[in-house]
Amino acid sequence: MKQRIEKLRCQSLDAIPHISLERAEILTDFYKSGQIEKVSTPVGRAMAFEYLLKNKALCINDGELIVGERGPEPKATPTYPEICTHTIKDFDILDSREKISFKVSAKVRSSQQENIIPVWSGCSIRDRILSSVDDEWKEAYSAGIFTEFQEQRAPGHTVLDDKIYHKGFLDFKKEIEDSLQTLDYFNDSEALSKKEQLTAMSICCDALIAFASRYADKLAGLAEAETNSIRKAELENMAAICRKVPAHKPDTFWEALQYYWFVHLGVITELNTWDSFNPGRLDRHLYPFYKKDIADGVLTNEQAREILQSFWIKFNNQPAPPKVGVTAQESNTYTDFCLINIGGVTETGEDASNEMTYMIMDTIEEMRLLQPSSMVQISKKNPDRMVKRALEIIKTGYGQPSLFNTDALIPEMIRQGKSIIDARNGGASGCVETGAFGKESYILTGYFNIPKVLEITLHNGVDPRTGKQIGVQTGDPAEFSSFDELYDAFDKQLIYFLDIKIKGNRIIERLWAEILPAPFMSLLIDDCIATGKDYNNGGARYNSSYIQGVGMGTITDSLTAIKYHIFDKKTLSMPEYLDALKNNFKGFDGFFKQLRDGTPKYGNDNDYADDVLRRVFESYFSAIDGRPNTKGGHHRINLLPTTCHVYFGSVCGATPDGRECGAPLSEGISPVQGADRHGPTAVLKSAAKIDHLRTGGTLLNQKLTPELLGNSDGIEKVMHLIRSYFKMDGHHIQFNVVTAETLRKAQHEPEKHRDLIVRVAGYSDYFVDLGIDLQNEIINRTEHGNC
Amino acid sequence: MQGIIFDIKKFAIHDGPGIRTTIFFKGCPLSCQWCHNPESRNPQIETICVKNNSDETHASAISEIFGEKVSAQYIIEEIVKDRIFYEESGGGATFSGGEPLLQIDFLLELLQLCKKQGIHTAVDTSGFVPFEQLETIIDYTELFLYDLKLIDDSVHKNYVGASNQLILENFRKLVKRHDNVIPRIPLIPGITDTDEALSAIITFLESTKCVTKVSLLPYNKLVEDKLDRFHIDNKIGRLQKQDDQKIIDIERMFSACGFHVSVGG
């Protein structure tokens, strides 16, 4: 790594995340100017976007090759008061909380109090959501049955395809103009709203082009003042690049990356979209530029690496927007989930890996940054060399890249009705979510606490934590004479709560569509321009709404334990069992031991437990999949937790599998921590009993000792392990390669282990930034060794 | 048929090619001083009082049962469960122990069941059995992992508790009848890893004219801990693990004589 990149990297690592009110203040100025009241909602939002880009401070860091920051400087993190207006108390919490804190200066605090709160309080979309949903929704939300993604952050969950590498924003403007020309004001009842939407998109095109020229001017100024002739030439070149892109299509590697970065900044400035946004299949996108530049002699391999490294640092400079309350608990991290995809197949289904695949892997390894996240798509068509290279990076214990099965991603998308071409051009984003890049809005709507539903079933609809009747009365469990009766009651409760969630989703979707359209992001996603519809209003070619199931391991082991001990072995009666749960197993030592050591559990390739898993999967799937959303698409399921299994565990009493009150639930589709006793092959076999192809993503974490990947033979065997799991249609697997001993040391001496990055659940994070429960949980996850 | 085993290990990656499931048979005719499976020696199910290592604060002891009587059907079902991993990696099932040939009928049935299922088989043997028994399984065993410890019989007797005559003789006969026999040499510091001991092995292997591969097993400190836990008198003492250079030197010694060497299984 060159010295200047090392310097930029250190600057990024050392910068302290802090709240910047720049965006909030500029936006508020604009709203106060009264202009917004004179125009339609989408046009008003586009004008606000334009005003933001015109007035925000520019930032060019010393020596960097890709320019543009979301805030006035690295890690200056904006707020989005139109979405969530932070109270001063929220700021106090953000400033002082031990983990994932954001420094809030006195000046920021007073400006929030004087300028922001008076304008936005009560008017944010968060306020509107909370006043629009039903009482049942609020009860279930407070009980911790589900969370709500769009309550503090905008619907995002989309990734860019290759369109920006073929078209400039002037071309997009032309397309918008063509679409405007074809509007049928005589027969199309929506023509007028389409006109407003398209006009808004056009304004956004101008806004981004103007933003890039501001950077061009600044770069030209810096070039003029620069005395070092090499840097001077570089700055001049960068100024020329910023005059060319995004207005025109890029022709070089450097232009392509700078173009993407402007687009990225546009998306994350317009709204605080979840899973911020990312370039998707970066090796595929960049390779043609790289190849041409090298052939033309305008780029060296070394220069390409440096530009790529500079690009990488830009992501790390943008922490995820600050979150508070339940939203902070469900996703407690600075990571903004920009999951760059490499590998996989081409549009025509051939091996897509190329020289850029390896250069990107080198960059991941060398930069060792929290952001961007990275993943490798592995198809049966990709060479072993690619998988082994990924494992060599994973072996260093940094939790990246994660590994995905292209041969599962594609059929998942095809089952949902996507074309095979769109499916091959897609991948996974966020943690593990499947999507058709550049063409789909695949919104995660919230996590769903499946074990909590069992707890409520075992109390006939009452939440034992509060004593409130929040579910339906499905009968006194002591009266159930068979496991099937109990299961039916659980199934009824599950449907009841999922209905509440789905109804809430529809309400919330409408609010976003009507109040906060996203004209800038819309112009990037097909077919918003063609249909004249907003991304938040069904403009994308595909529109999916996800409800992410959490606690598959815990629910499987809990139902299995009830089946085994109450109905099959008759170890004890239901009232006795409930008594054990109520007492958190105190006074039930013998039974507790039996639960731990003498009860079938998921993760051991044992069908007694795994059949229960299959049954729960079917219930969850059929309660959700295929139910329409309000955007012409459907609800789908995926199984991932981010950090929500910790929050969900904290609202659950002791569960029948022997999990103690308040302890985290199992994460993703991983077995309950410590329940898998037969090694990784048994875990993979069990996990493959989930029908991955009917999901939009599952998350499996495995811990391996570093010794296992110590030599080429070990790497080869782990590669076979992965390929076998993928043959069984497994969607994703990730490895944490770090010893439990190292983690314990880091827990005791955090200051010495600030750089220790571990896999959490679908993303990586600094170990010392994790809450104590999550730290312990990661330590406890079974460490699979070799012989 | 039923047999007595003491463990089934999945994702075994040091007992033959690919990802394997290793079945550990109980009962062994030898008593190697460095044996790191002391629970494998007694052919019967037994209760052993072992130190409880999970309790770091006080040295407590708990009784544990070692060995389990299981049917061949049960074992084959467990083996077949990981078929997809074997097929992907070129792995299979390995029968180890203890000495699997001590339960020859049970072993034969398992090997035949594997063959019927198309699963690759390896047998890890000490060779200290009548040759007729090895002969019985030749057609059903795709790979023999054959432990060769020491050529000097007096030293062998001292550390292993029996003469090596039968072992060496069986080895010579076996390699003439089976083309996939890999000698496995445990490298016990100062005992089997000396130049003298290893040269003797090389001379012996060269004399058979049939062996092309050898597998070296570097010393594993685990044994000391295990002997301690099992309250077994540690006769070999606390040995120093070979350093990487020493292993490379030994590897070179064999490869210089034309052998393909693998380290660690």
Q: Could you read off the pLDDT of B8-29 as tens digits, one per residue? A: 999 998 899 999 999 999 999 9
Sign of CA dihedral B256, B260, B264, B265: negative
Measure the CA–CA gap between A62 and A44, rounded to whole angstroms: 36
Does the beta carbon of B190 lie under 8 angstroms from any beta carbon of chain A?
A: no
Mean pLDDT of all residues in A248-267? 98
Separation in Å, CA A311 to CA A235, A258, A304, B260: 16, 8, 11, 47
From the list B163, B221, B185, B230, the residue with the least C-alpha distance to B29 is B163
Closest CA–CA distance from residue A407 to any residue of chain B (Å): 16
Distance from CA of B196 to the nearest CA of A (A): 29
In chain A, the residue whose alpha carbon lies closest to the alpha carbon of B84 is: A724
CA distance, residue A717 to nearest chain B CA (Å): 7
In 3-state terms, what secondary structure has residue A603?
A: coil
Residue type, B16: G
The H or E element containing residue B262 is strand B260-263
- Which sign, positive or negative, has the C-alpha torsion A493, A494, A497, A503? negative
Note whether A699 and A669 are within 8 A (CB): yes
Chain A residues touching B265 at Cβ < 8 A: 787
Which chain B positions have a beta carbon within 8 Å of A681's beta carbon?
10-11, 19, 82, 85
pLDDT at residue B213 in the model: 96
Q: Cβ contacts (< 8 Å) between B85 and chain A: which residues?
A: 681, 720-721, 724
Catalytically active residues of A are 431, 433
Q: Evaluate if residue A787 carries a pLDDT over 50.
A: no
CA distances for A128 relative to A23, A132, B21, angstroms = 21, 6, 58
Q: Do A434 and A413 contact (CB within 8 A), yes or no?
A: yes
Put simply, the answer to whether A721 touches B11 (Cβ < 8 Å) is: yes
In this complex, do B9 and A787 lie within 8 Å of one another by their Cβ atoms? yes
CA-wise closest residue to B219 among B182, B192, B251: B192
Flag if A724 and B89 touch (Cβ within 8 Å): yes
pLDDT value, residue A365: 96
The whole-number pLDDT of residue B156 equals: 97
pLDDT digits over A9-51, tens only?
A: 999 999 999 999 999 999 999 999 999 999 999 999 999 999 9
User: What is the ipTM, given to two decimal places?
Assistant: 0.92
Q: Which of A683, A720, A735, A783 to mutate to test the interface with B (most CBs of B within 10 A)?
A: A720
User: How many angstroms separate the CA of residue A721 from the nearest CA in chain B?
Assistant: 7
pLDDT at B90: 98
Question: How close does chain A come to B82, measured CA to CA in Å?
Answer: 7
| In the predicted structure, residue B230 carries a pLDDT above the cut 90 | no
- A740 — contact with chain B (CB < 8 Å)? no
Inspect the interface and report whether the beta carbons of B10 and A713 lie closer than 8 Å: no
Instruction: Tell if the CB–CB gap between B81 and A605 is shorter than 8 Å.
Output: yes
With CA atoms as reference, the chain A residue closest to B89 would be A720
Of A678, A724, A784, Cβ closest to residue B85: A724
Q: Is some CB atom of chain A closer than 8 A to the CB atom of B82?
A: yes
A-facing residues of B in 1-40 (CB < 8 A) are 9-15, 18-19, 22
Amino acid at A556: T
In the predicted model, is pLDDT for residue B222 greater than 80? no
Q: Indicate the residue type of A545.
A: S
Closest partner CB to A787 (pick from B13, B88, B91)? B13
Q: Do B88 and A727 touch (CB under 8 A)?
A: yes
Mutate which of B24, B88, B244 to test chain A, going by most A C-beta atoms within 10 A? Answer: B88
Per the CB < 8 A criterion, the answer to whether B9 and A679 are in contact is: yes
Mean pLDDT check: name the lowest of A133-147, A394-408, A521-535, A684-698.
A394-408
State whether residue A591 is helix, strand or coil: helix
> For B9, which residue in chain A has the nearest alpha carbon?
A678
| Distance from C-alpha of A685 to C-alpha of A507, rounded to nearest angstrom | 40
Q: How many Cβ atoms sit within 10 Å of the Cβ of residue B25?
A: 27
Q: Which residue of A has its CA nearest to B83?
A: A724
For residue A490, the model assigns a pLDDT of: 98
User: So what's the pLDDT on residue A774?
Assistant: 80
Asked whether the beta carbons of residue A721 and residue B264 sit closer than 8 angstroms, the reply is: no
Q: Across the interface, do B85 and A681 touch by the CB < 8 Å criterion? A: yes
Q: What is the DSSP string of B18-63?
A: SSEEEEEES--S---TT-S-GGGSSSS-EEEEEEETT-SSS-EEEE
Task: Say yes or no: B74 contacts chain A, CB-CB below 8 A.
Answer: no
Rounded percentage of chain A residues whose pLDDT exceeds 70: 98
Give residues 300 to 339 of A whose Cβ lies within 8 Å of B.
none
Question: Which candidate from A680, A721, A787 shows the least CB-CB separation from B14?
Answer: A787
DSSP H helices, A463-598, are 483-515, 519-524, 528-531, 552-562, 574-582, 589-597
Alpha carbon distances (Å) from B84 to A712, B77, B88, B187: 21, 13, 6, 33
Interface of B with A in 117-146 (CB under 8 A): none
The mean per-residue pLDDT over the stretch A425-446 comes to 97
Question: What is the average per-residue pLDDT within A613-624?
Answer: 98
Round the average pLDDT of chain A to a whole number and report it. Answer: 95
- Residue B244 neighbours by CB distance under 10 Å: 8
For the segment A46-75, the average pLDDT, to the nearest whole number, is 98
- Three-state SS at A461: coil
pLDDT at position B58 is 55
Cβ pair B40, B22 in contact under 8 A: no
- Whether the CB of A784 is below 8 Å from some CB of chain B: the reply is yes
Centroid of chain to Cα A118: 32
State the average pLDDT over residues A499-515.
Answer: 98
Please check whether residue A721 touches B, CB under 8 A. yes
The structure tokens listed for A610 are: 């795994």
Residue A786 has pLDDT above 50, yes or no: no
Distances (CA, A) of A1 to A4, A8, A9, B215: 8, 11, 10, 41
What is the pLDDT at residue B265?
Answer: 63
Taking residues A659-671, what's their average pLDDT? Answer: 95
Distance CA B40, CA B43 (A): 7
Question: Mind listing the pLDDT tens digit for each residue in B90-142?
Answer: 999 999 999 999 999 999 999 999 999 999 999 999 999 999 999 999 999 99
Q: B85 and A720: CB-CB below 8 Å?
A: yes
Q: Looking at the complex, does the CB of residue A681 fall below 8 Å from at least one CB of chain B?
A: yes
Q: Please list every residue in chain A whose beta carbon sits closer than 8 Å to the beta carbon of residue B23.
A: none
